[in-house]
Amino acid sequence: MAQVNSMSDSAVRDAVIHGRISPELAKDQTAMMAIQQRMNSISEMNNLMTNMMKALHDMQMAVVQNIRI
């Protein structure tokens, strides 16, 4: 489990996607729950960043629309 904790978020995501989780971790329910929690936090951060980028884009578009009028 220490190996997964020391990995970056992108490395954890790639390991899960490509099935590179060690058999010992796959058999350990606690480790799998920890990996699931880590994947959930990565997904949540991705959603947060996407929403922030969309909000910035929408604000920029509003400025452009106001200039056109």
Contacts of 13 (CB under 8 A, 6+ apart): 39, 42
| Amino acid 50: pLDDT | 98
pLDDT of residue 45: 96
pLDDT per residue as tens, the chain (69 positions): 777 788 888 888 888 889 888 888 889 999 899 999 999 999 999 999 999 999 999 999 999 998 876
**Are 12 and 35 contacting, i.e. CB atoms less than 8 angstroms apart?**
yes
CA distance 2 to 60: 44
Give the structural domain span for 12: 2-68
The number of helices, as runs of H, and strands, as runs of E, in the chain is 4, 0
Query: Structural domain tally of the chain?
Result: 1
- pLDDT score recorded for residue 37: 94
